Structure formats: C-alpha cells, structure tokens
Amino acid sequence: MPSRHTRASLALAAAFSLPLPALTLACVLSLPLPAVAQAPTNAAPLHNIVLVHGAWVDASGWKGVYDRLVAKGFHVTMVQEPETSLEDDVAATKRVLDQQDGPTLLVGHSYGGSIITEAGIHPRVAGLVYVAAHAPDVGEDEAELGKSMPSVLGRTEGAIEKTPDGFTYLKPDLFPKLFAPDLPKERAEFEARAQVLAAARVFSTPLTAAAWQGKPSWGIVAGSDQIINPDLERFYYERAGAPITVIAGASHSVYESHPREVAAVIEQAARELGKAAD
C-alpha cells in the first residue's frame, strides 16, 4: 500500500484534476520568487470540509464542530441525507462535493462512514475522517460487520423499531441512554423525538467502492460508544492505515458532546493534507 504522504499527494493531484507532475509544477510556478528560496514554515490547510451525518439524525448535530471549523477559516458544508438508500445518500453527498471549488476533506459519522467510503472516490475528495463511523470494504456492509463485534445496541432486543414500509428508528425511550448519554437530557430527548427514519436497507447494502484504499484517512473512536462497538471502529481504522484518536468516555454522539476534540482532529487532517500539497 502506498505511504500516507504518497496517497495524500495523489489524492490532492486528483482533486485539482491535474497529473501529479503538473500539480507540482503549478505549485512551483505560482510561488513568488522569494518564497521559492525558502521552505514554508507553516503550510496552509486544505480549505473545504464536507460533513456527513449518520442514521436517525440530521446535519444539525454538527453545529458545534461547524462553528469551530468556520472560526478557523474553513469553508464547511453539511449534507442533509435522505436516508432512503445508500445509493440516494451517496448521490446527495456527491451533489455537495460537486459544489466545492477544490480539494475537499470528507467527514462522516456512524452510517455516514459508509456513505463517505463510497462517495469518497469523487475526484474532489483529498482525504477522509471517520467519526465513530463504519468503514466497510468493497462487498461488505455494516450490518454484517456489526454482527462480528456486537455493540450494546446489537445486544439490546427490540431497541430498533421498523415501520411496515421498511424504515427504522431507535426506540425514543432508549435513544438518550444508547445514542447520547453524554448529552444534556433535554437535548437527547428532543433528538429522540426528531429522528429521521432510515430505510433498513441502508445498513445491509454492500459497498461498491472503498475510498480509504487510495486516500489518506483519520479515525476517531468514541470510547464508550454503545451504537458501534469501539473495537469495530478500531478495526476499521487500523485496516485503513488511519491515525486513531480515542476520546475516552465519549458516546456515539461524540461529535456533539466533544465538538472541540472532533474539530481538532479534522483541522489536523486538513493541515496534513495541506502540507502534502506543497
């Protein structure tokens, strides 16, 4: 497997839609002459970030992360997923990626990890960040992988309800305890009643692409995750060769309960991708 720096350079070359030698030449020619003689002391980070939510929630949960990244000067966009099928969610994500003006860091939470794994082959995607997320390989689906390392949710009978037309949701009285025990009670209860019902098939659809195979990735493990087994999160990230950050005591809602730490990982990934572009 190519080194992280090589993968980052290749991903950025693709994001700029230039061959790697042309990208290098373009970067050199665009520098003022004095800058050519001096090595840069602080590479500019990649500018565009797209955030992808997971099942049963919407993009509003990213607000704390969004605020911190925007304050640092990043251009941040969130995808509102329909959660009607993996194909629909990937298409929704690619629509947002099409709107970006250059290389983009794609971030996914939970089921959003499956979405970014498939959508991440988009030419504007330079790297991936997985936040308490699934990262299946080609031909794999998160439902089967979850059975190999069951979570608390997976061992809780009747926790997931299903409508007659095939949509799922987490039982509202269990949502605060399983999904968001480290959020304020009122907020967790509100989210339990504001769930976006997800088609059952989104969890069992095998992936046809795995962007982490060719693009640099970073992973965040929620230490007390009850929706995805933290050991499964580690397995995914180790397989992808991703640096791993463990946020001890964090629930599956780690992006809401620990926005500072999550934003810091995303910012670091953007800075590393920026260095690879130099």
For the chain (278 residues), the mean pLDDT of every run of 10, in chain order, is: 53 50 35 36 79 99 99 98 99 99 98 99 98 99 97 97 98 98 98 98 98 98 99 99 98 99 98 86
Please tell me the distance from the alpha carbon of residue 69 to that of residue 49, in angstroms, as a whole number. 9
**Domain coordinates in residue numbering, the chain:** 4-32+41-147+200-277
DSSP assigned state of 206: P
- Break the chain down into helix, strand, coil percent, rounded to 5: 45, 20, 35
Predicted TM-score (pTM) of the model is 0.86
DSSP string, 54-78: -TB--GGGGHHHHHHHHHTT-EEEE
Please tell me the distance from the alpha carbon of residue 5 to that of residue 54, in angstroms, as a whole number. 29
3-state secondary structure of 225: coil
Give the pLDDT confidence score for residue 275 in this predicted structure: 87
Between the alpha carbon of residue 244 and those of residues 24, 79, 120, 166, 193, the distances in Å are: 29, 24, 19, 35, 33
By the 10 Å C-beta count (0-12 exposed, 13-18 middle, 19+ buried), 27 is classed as: middle
Between the alpha carbon of residue 82 and those of residues 106, 195, 198, the distances in Å are: 18, 12, 8
What topology is assigned to 4-32+41-147+200-277 in CATH? Rossmann fold (3.40.50)
Pairing of strands 104-110, 198-199: unpaired
- Joined together, the tokens standing for residue 149 give 């390392």
Please tell me the distance from the alpha carbon of residue 7 to that of residue 166, in angstroms, as a whole number. 39
